[in-house]
Structure 1
């Protein structure tokens, strides 16, 4: 068997075995949530508390920004001019800032503090 093209600590594929950060993927599928796996992938450690749940809350809270979000408006407006897709997407990306799309750090801090205090998701919102 030839050497892998590159080595990474994120995952390994061996005969009849797939590992993510050293854990068998079957075990992770049976015992971990999506947020737990994201945390594991980024940190190399399984979460010990609510870290995975916080990640899931962030994903859920960012799924719908309707058609009124500045980045969507900018992207659609620029695309209507017939420019290439990447130009329209770039217009949307450069409209992101502290008030739209850039508030994730403040959100993460709020969720982290709230889960430490034992607040439920409905109490936080």
Structure 2
């Protein structure tokens, strides 16, 4: 049997001697250097942030490196409240409920649900693509962009011709539309939010509109977050509702959830 010599090429890379971050500084304890005495987030003392700032401000600081203005802070907090629960119709919430009633370990309920929430359908992956879409298209005419989209096919399900916009259950989802309309009254509302509103209004005659992912994307973009951060932020802001629904079902019997009949399963070929 003939053996073949495989040439192994050494990578010409020099690895860092230690990990470095600009985000977080830990002040070591005088008694034990492996323990932390105090922390600074982008130079801001943690205890001062605890005393003087809200969660939305510090979350913004973590990613942006600076504290938000009063207008951005209020807008971010309003979005956090609006997205706190995706609702029991959302696939991620259903996953949390099924995990809870199925007696999944409590610590795993949220990770199970967040895995679903990270997907392309009404999830974090769609938020990232919607942010890229808005950042690119918001320089143009939203009504013209809406008119150039193909009409929604005759169906009862969901259809998203562009990330963050489309139909749910064959129609316009009213809740994200109402939330965006309310958030547009905030002084911190910017170009992407206004463009998203006009674009969604142009889609209404075709039974389409803005989705929760498009709503989050528009606000994230106006707040200055990068698209790659969008999926995780979306998961984070929706996480409380997912956990609440999963925990609610954890002490209930398996029969508390419906069991789908065989005839209700549809396999598309």
| Bin for the TM-score computed over the shorter chain | 0.5 to 0.7
Distance (whole Å) between structure 2 residues aligned to residue 105 and residue 91 of structure 1: 15
Instruction: Spell out the pairing of 1:52-71 with structure 2 (5 A cutoff).
Output: 52-69=73-90, 71=92
Question: CA shift at 1:90, angstroms?
Answer: 4.4
Structure with the greater alpha carbon radius of gyration: 2
Q: Please name the residue that 1:8 is paired with.
A: 21
C-alpha distance in 2 between matches for 1:49 and 1:65 = 27
Q: Distance in 2 between matches of 1:41 and 1:92?
A: 21
Change (3 A) 1:41 1:94: same
Matches within 5 A, 1:1-125: 5-15=18-28, 16-69=37-90, 71-72=92-93, 75=95, 89-90=115-116, 93-96=119-122, 97=126, 98=164, 99-106=211-218, 108=219
Higher relative contact order (Cα pairs below 8 Å, separated by 6+ residues): 2
Paired with 1:104 and 1:67, the residues of 2 have a C-alpha distance of 19
Q: CA deviation at 1:51?
A: 1.7
TM-score normalised by structure 2 residue count: 0.31
Counterpart-to-counterpart distance in 2, 1:66 and 1:40? 28
Q: How many aligned residue pairs are there?
A: 102
Runs (4+) of structure 1 moved beyond 3 Å?
Answer: 70-73, 88-92
Contact 1:35 1:54 in 2 (8 A): no
Is there any run of 5+ residues in structure 2 with no aligned partner, and where? Answer: 1-16, 29-36, 100-110, 127-163, 165-210, 224-269
